[in-house]
Chain A
């Protein structure tokens, strides 16, 4: 047994070498991706599984699928999607969309999903977070939150941001964490779609107060936005959709530049 490397390693002080994660998000409806994609190599841009495979090959650290199918077939199509993805890709992924019963979560877990994302369902029934954490462990539970800045405060919005609530975002994140969320996915509605950068002010404020991982979403437009995000806020992960789908930012390029800026990434 070679013990030399080990001995040397055990003498160095413990650091934190956890990589910042880059997460493409795919919207899926009736088993097909909704937003257009612009990958040259893609045979079928509407096939979420092929897209997922491409992203994992490019070095994406994780994937999020949001199923927006509105029909009663939704659970069946989600399960089929999760099975196909789990069969073909070798990185973790999260599935979200209309999960509001333990049975939904159970079948998705057993079909190969690493995590589920819950949003409006847990605002309406916060105890569902506790139930999920108890049944599957908190690492399985991502609480997604859509937030909007109104008169100097941040408020939680529901149903993809269409319905305002009087719940302050900071309070809800604290409650979600206490109830057993394993991760928070925070989308700034003010920044989403602007391509003007992430909401670093809010993200830093939140990141400094929670002790579970935080995924930032909304506003990615350039590589520099990701550099700024990680430098200014120290969040754990960045999620984006269109900049990746349209090939405006290539994940290998993004990771190289993050690495050049001394941000820990998986190359």
Chain B
């Protein structure tokens, strides 16, 4: 059963609706004790990374999150919170995965926010992408991205620059796109997450 970290950063209605459609059960994590009730976790998030981090800190859940040993999936800003730092508001984040979250620079000559369906290329054999063809489109909407890093990037996308569509360190995963809005590919990814060993 999936525990959703409940910290008030944006709308989770679409996420829970997707889990309902897939028949995946879930509950909300509001206190440190709640983590024990679940065997995997989702950290959602939209909006400003700095204010999302502040809200997450205010819940007092950060020390418990850092210690988790079961699968964790950060979505969009929830993914960025796993990194060390974001250029958005010069924000210090959890540093669970030592990467940098950057703004799509004007030099890249791309429109910002990066809005729409972009192709994602995963490492072969990545369990999170079981039954998802290489180069499937996922729905993105973000102005900040996580740099490509050969140690932690397990799927990439290109938008003027190669960036991390998905990162992983041990049991911690982060996806920059919105699986709950990414059609069948996104639903498959959520199912795969629910069945990760």
Contact = CB atoms under 8 A, between A and B. Distances in A.
Nearest to A237: B116
Contacts of B10: 109
B161 interface: yes
A92 B115 CA distance: 11
Contacts of A14: 158-162
B47 A136 contact: yes
A219 to B, nearest CB: 22
Interface string A109-137: 11111100000000000000000000011
A210 B109 CA distance: 11
Interface string A137-169: 111000000000000000000000000000000
Contacts of B184: 90
A165 B160 CA distance: 38
Contacts of A17: 118-119, 157-159
Interface stretch (A4-12, A41-49, A70-78): A4-12
Contacts of B156: 6, 9-10
Interface residues of B, number: 53
A213 B115 contact: yes
B13 A6 contact: no
A170 interface: no
Given A183-B115, A236-B111, A112 B121 contact: no
B183 A16 contact: no
A92 B181 contact: yes
A40 interface: no
Given A17-B158, A90-B183, A213-B116, A3 B13 contact: no
Contact of A5 (B123, B182, B183): B123
Interface in B118-140: 118-119, 121-126, 134, 137, 139
B117 A2 contact: no
B116 A3 contact: no
Q: Interface on chain B toward A: helix, strand, loop, or mixed SS?
A: mixed
Given A14-B160, A139-B142, A86 B17 contact: yes
Contacts of B178: 92
Contacts of A113: 11
Interface in B160-176: 160-162
B113 A3 contact: no
A4 B116 CA distance: 28
A17 B162 CA distance: 11
A88 B17 CA distance: 8
A18 interface: yes
Nearest to B77: A137
Given A90-B186, A111-B13, A182 B115 contact: yes
Contact of B116 (A10, A18, A56): A18
Contacts of A21: 116-117
A189 B117 CA distance: 28
B30 interface: no
B13 A61 contact: no
A102 interface: no
Contacts of B148: 10
A194 to B, nearest CB: 27
B48 interface: yes
Contacts of A9: 121, 156, 162
Interface of A: 1-7, 9-10, 14-19, 21, 56, 61-62, 83, 86-88, 90-92, 109-114, 136-139, 182-183, 210-213, 236-237, 266
